[in-house]
Amino acid sequence: MTTRSIERRTFLKRTATAAVAVLGAPLLSARAAAQGDRLVVAVGQWGTETPFAWRHVQAEKPLWDCVYDPLIMRDPKTFEYRPGLATEWKPSNEMRTWTFKLRSGVKFHEGFGELTAEDVKFTVEQSFKPDSLGGSAYFFRNHVDRIETPDKLTVVMHFKSRQWIVPSLFTQYVGYQNTISKKYFESVGEQKAAAHPIGTGPFRHVEGKQGDYHRFEAVPGHWRKTPAFKELVIRRIAEPATRLSGLRTGEIDIAQVFGDYLTQAQKAGLRIHETPNAAQYWVILTGQTTPDREDYCPACPWAGDPKDARSLDNARKVRLALNLAVNKKAIYSGLWKDRGGDTPYSYYYYPFHRGHSADWKVPPYDPERAKKLLAEAGHAGGFEVRVNPYVQLVAQDGPDVMEAVALDWEKLGIKVKRVPEATSSFGPKGRLRKTNKTFSVYGSPPFDEPVAGWERVIHSKGAFNLLLDGAYDEEIDATMREFDTERRAKLTQALGQKLYDGYHGVMLGMKSLTWALGKKVNTWSPLAYVPAETNYDSVS
Amino acid sequence: MTTAAAGIETVAPRRRDRWPPLVPLAIVALLVLCGLFAPWLAPRSPVEGSLGERLVAPFWMDGAKPGHPLGTDRHGRDTLSRLIHGARISIAVSVVGITLTGAAGVFIGLLAGFFGGWVDTLLMRLVDISLSLPGILIAVLLSVVFEPSFTNVIVVVVFLLWPSYARLTRGETLGLKQQDFVALARVAGCGSLTIMFRHIVPNLAPSILVLATLHVGYVIVLEAALSFLGVGIPPPTPSWGVMVADGRGLIEQAWWVSILPGIAILVTVLSLNILGDWVRDRLDPKLRQV
Amino acid sequence: MQRYVVGRLVQSLVSMFVVSLVVFALVRLSGDPIQIMAPPEASQADIAMMRAYLGLDRPWAVQYWTFISHAVRGDFGTSVRFRRPAMELIAERYGATLELGGLAVFIVIAVALPVGVYAAVRRGSALDYTARTLAALGQAVPPFWLGLLLVLVFGVMLRLLPTSGRGTPLHVLLPGITLGWFAVAGLMRLTRSSMLDVLGSEYVKLARIKGLPERTVIWKHAFKNAALPVVTFAALLFVALLNGSIIVETVFGWPGLGLLVIEAVDSRDYPIVQAVVMCLSAMYIGVNLLVDVLYAYLNPKIRYAS
Under 8 Å between Cβ of A438 and A387: yes
| Interface mutation target, options C10, C133, C146, C197, chain B, most CBs of B under 10 Å | C197
Burial of A143 (0-12, 13-18, 19+ CB in 10 A): middle
Say whether pLDDT at B3 is over 50: no
Number of H helices, E strands in chain A: 15, 17
pLDDT of A395 strictly over 90 = no
CB contact under 8 A, C261 and B137: yes
A31 pLDDT more than 60: no
pLDDT of residue A316: 94
Band of residue A215 on the pLDDT scale cut at 50, 70, 90: very high
**Interface with C, mutate which of A54, A63, A239, A421 (most C CBs under 10 A):** A239
List, for residues B197-230, the tens digit of each pLDDT value: 777 788 888 778 878 877 887 888 888 888 877 7
In tens, the pLDDT along C161-198 reads 877 777 778 888 888 888 888 778 777 777 777 777 77
Closest in A4, A48, A431 to C35, CB measured? A431
Rg of chain C over Cα atoms, rounded to whole angstroms, equals 24
- Burial bucket for residue A77 (CB in 10 Å: 0-12, 13-18, 19+): middle
Q: Considering only residues 162 to 181 of chain C, which have any Cβ-Cβ distance to chain B shorter than 8 Å?
A: none
A-interface mutation test, from C44, C158, C163, C248, most A Cβ less than 10 A away: C163
From CA A342, how far away is CA A328, in angstroms rounded? 8
Of B136, B267, B270, the CB nearest to C246: B136
Per residue in B192-212, is it b (16+ CB within 10 Å) or e — as a string? eeebbeebbbeebebbbebbb
Give the lowest-confidence range in B223-232, C93-102, C230-239. Answer: C230-239
User: Mean pLDDT score of chain A, rounded to an integer?
Assistant: 84
Summarised one tens digit per residue, pLDDT across range A74-85 is 887 777 889 989
Task: Tell whether omega for the bond before C271 is within 30 degrees of 0, i.e. cis.
Answer: no
Closest residue by Cα to residue C288 from B124, B158, B289: B124
Residue A69: closest CA among A539, A540, A534: A534
Residues of chain B with Cβ-Cβ distance to C148 below 8 Å are 248, 251
CA-based nearest residue in chain A for residue C151: A245
Residue to mutate among A142, A242, A444, with most C CBs inside 10 A, is A242
Q: Which of B8, B11, B137, B140 to mutate to test the interface with C (most CBs of C within 10 A)?
A: B137
Residue B285, pLDDT score: 55
Cβ-Cβ contacts under 8 Å, A400 against chain B: 74-75
Angle at A120 between CA A117 and CA A125, to 5 degrees: 125
Distance from CA of C192 to the nearest CA of A (A): 37
Task: For residue C239, give the chain B residue with the closest CA.
Answer: B132
User: Do A354 and A495 meet the contact criterion of CB atoms below 8 Å apart?
Assistant: no
Q: How many angstroms away from the CA of A249 is the closest CA of chain C?
A: 6
Cβ neighbours of residue B163 closer than 8 Å, sequence gap 6 or more: B105, B127, B130, B131
pLDDT of residue C40: 53
Q: Please answer whether residues A396 and A256 qualify as being in contact, where contact means their C-beta atoms are separated by less than 8 angstroms.
A: yes
Most confident of A133-137, B161-165, B282-286: B161-165
Confidence band, pLDDT 50/70/90 cuts, at residue B186: confident
- Of A150, A339, A147, A331, give the one whose Cα is nearest residue A257: A339
Cβ contact C247:C306 at 8 Å: no
Tally the C-alpha atoms within 13 A of residue C205's C-alpha that lie toward its C-beta.
8
C128 or B13: which leads in pLDDT? C128
DSSP state of A516: E
Which residues in chain A are closer than 8 Å to B49, comparing Cβ atoms?
Answer: 407
| Distance of alpha carbon B58 from the chain centroid | 29
User: Which strands form A144-151's sheet, in the order they lie side by side?
Assistant: A86-92, A97-102, A154-159, A144-151
Across chain B, mean pLDDT equals 81
Q: Is the pLDDT confidence value at A523 over 70?
A: yes
What pairs with residue B34 in β-bridges? none
CB pair distance less than 8 Å for B235 and A418: yes
Nearest Cα to A391, choosing from B151, C152, B249?
B249
Nearest neighbour of C41 by CB, restricted to A211, A251, A456: A456
Residue C201 to residue C195: CA distance in whole angstroms: 10
Residue C300 pLDDT: 58
Report pTM. Answer: 0.81
Q: How far is it, in rounded angstroms, from Cα B91 to Cα B217?
A: 10
User: Distance, in angstroms, between B64 CA and closest chain C CA?
Assistant: 24
* CB proximity B128 to A under 8 Å: no
Q: Let me know: does B47 contact B77? Beta carbons within 8 Å.
A: yes
Indicate which of B44, B51, B231, B239 best probes the interface with A, i.e. most A CBs within 10 Å of its own CB.
B51
- Taking each helix axis from N to C terminus, what angle separates C270-298 and B135-145, rounded to the nearest 10 degrees? 140
Alpha-carbon distance of B8 to A200, in angstroms, equals 78
* Complex ipTM over 0.95: no
pLDDT class of C304 with cuts at 50, 70, 90: low
Nearest-CA neighbor of A57 among C41, C177, B166?
C41
Residues of chain A contacting C250 with CB distance shorter than 8 Å: 238-239
What confidence score (pLDDT) does residue A155 get? 92
Residues of chain C with Cβ-Cβ distance to A1 below 8 Å are 167
Say whether pLDDT at B2 is over 70. no
- Supply angle C-alpha A485, A489, A490, rounded to 5: 125
Please give, rounded to a whole number of angstroms, the shortest distance from the CA of B132 to a CA of chain A.
26
Q: Chain A contacts of C267, Cβ < 8 Å?
A: 48, 424
pLDDT digits (tens, 9 = 90+) for A222-278: 888 888 888 999 988 877 888 888 888 888 899 988 888 999 899 888 999 888 888
* Secondary element (H or E) of residue A131: none
Q: Which of A1, A4, A456 sits opposite C40 (nearest CB)?
A: A456
**Cβ B144 vs Cβ B156: under 8 Å:** no
More confident residue, B186 or C242: B186
**Cβ contact B248–A241 (<8 Å):** yes
Cβ-defined contact of C155 to A237 (cutoff 8 Å): no
Do the beta carbons of residue B128 and residue B121 sit within 8 Å? Answer: no
**Spatial separation of the C-alpha atoms in residues A40 and A154, rounded to whole Å:** 37
Give the minimum alpha-carbon distance from A244 to chain B in angstroms, rounded to a whole number: 9
Residues B246 and A481: their CA atoms lie apart, in Å, by 49
Q: What is the mean pLDDT of residues A316-341?
A: 93
CA distances from A71 to A115, A163, A170 (A): 11, 18, 6
Coarse DSSP helix, strand, coil percentages of chain C, rounded to the nearest 5 percent: 80, 0, 20
B136, A210, A237: which is closest to C252 by C-alpha? Answer: A237
Q: How far is CA B36 from CA B25, B242, C201, in A?
A: 16, 20, 47
Judged by phi (left if over 0) then psi (alpha if -120 to 50, else beta), residue A47 lies in left
Indicate whether A399 pLDDT > 50: yes
Q: Band the pLDDT of C10: cuts 50, 70, 90.
A: confident
Chains A, C: CB contacts within 8 A come to 135
How would residue A6 be classed by pLDDT, with cut points 50, 70 and 90?
Answer: very low
Neighbours of A25 (CB within 10 A): 18
Minimal Cβ distance to C247: which of B142, B144, B225: B225
* CA neighbor of B90 nearest in space, from B192, B227, B185, B184: B227
Whether the pLDDT of residue A9 is over 60: the answer is no
**Which chain A residues touch C259 with a CB distance below 8 Å?**
211, 238
What's the pLDDT score for residue A98? 93
Interface check C19 vs B, CB under 8 A: yes
Minimum CA–CA partner of A240 in chain B: B249
Residues ≥6 apart with Cβ < 8 Å to C123 = C196
Contact C163 A251 (CB under 8 A): yes
Q: At C14, which helix (H) or strand (E)? A: helix C2-29
Please compute, for residue A311, the number of CA atoms within 13 A of its CA located in the half-sphere on the CB side: 12
Range scoring the smallest mean pLDDT among A437-441, A506-510, B23-27, B79-83: B23-27
pLDDT above 80 (res B83): yes
- pLDDT value, residue C232: 67
| Mean pLDDT rounded to a whole number for chain C | 78
Query: Given CB atoms, is B86 within the 8 Å cutoff of chain C?
Result: no
Count of A–B CB contacts within 8 Å? 58
Asked if A209 is an interface residue toward chain C (Cβ–Cβ < 8 A), one would say yes
Q: Name every chain A residue with its beta carbon within 8 A of the beta carbon of C31.
A: 424-425, 428
Mutate to test the interface with B, among C130, C181, C232, C243 (most CBs of B within 10 A): C243
Kind plus residue range of the DSSP H or E element containing C186: helix C169-199
pLDDT the model gives residue B13:
46
d(CA B245, CA B262): 10
- Whole-number Å distance between alpha carbons of A112 and C115: 63
User: Nearest CA to CA, how far is B97 from chain A (Å)?
Assistant: 22
Asked if residues A93 and A163 have their Cβ atoms less than 8 Å apart, the reply is: no
Return the minimum-mean-pLDDT range out of A47-56, A105-114, A379-388. Answer: A47-56
**In this complex, is the C-beta atom of B263 within 8 Å of any C-beta atom belonging to chain C?**
no
C249 near C97, Cβ under 8 Å? yes
Q: How far apart are CA A38 and CA A11, in angstroms?
A: 7
CA atoms in the 13 A half-sphere facing the CB of B48: 11
Cβ atoms of A385 and B200 within 8 Å: the answer is: no
A533 compared with A53, residue with greater pLDDT: A53
pLDDT of A356-387, one tens digit each?
988 999 999 999 999 999 999 989 888 999 99
**Residue C23: pLDDT above 50?**
yes
Tens-place pLDDT, residues A272-303: 988 888 889 999 999 999 898 889 999 999 99
Contact state of A130 with C49 under an 8 Å Cβ cutoff? yes
Task: Say whether A147 sits in a helix, a strand or coil.
Answer: strand
**Using an 8 Å Cβ cutoff, are A257 and A65 in contact?**
no
- Cβ–Cβ below 8 Å for B265 and C200: no
CA distance A471 to A480: 16
Note the pLDDT of residue C48: 78
Q: Which residue of A has its CA nearest to B231?
A: A420
Does residue C281 belong to the interface with chain B, where contact is any CB pair within 8 Å? yes
- Look at residue C179 and give its three-state secondary structure: helix
CB contact under 8 A, B228 and C142: yes
How far off is chain C from B215, nearest CA to CA, in Å?
A: 10
Q: Which chains touch C (3 or more CB pairs under 8 A)?
A: A, B
Per DSSP, the three-state class of A441 is strand
Which pLDDT score, from 0 to 100, does residue B290 have?
A: 44
Per-residue pLDDT, A89: 92
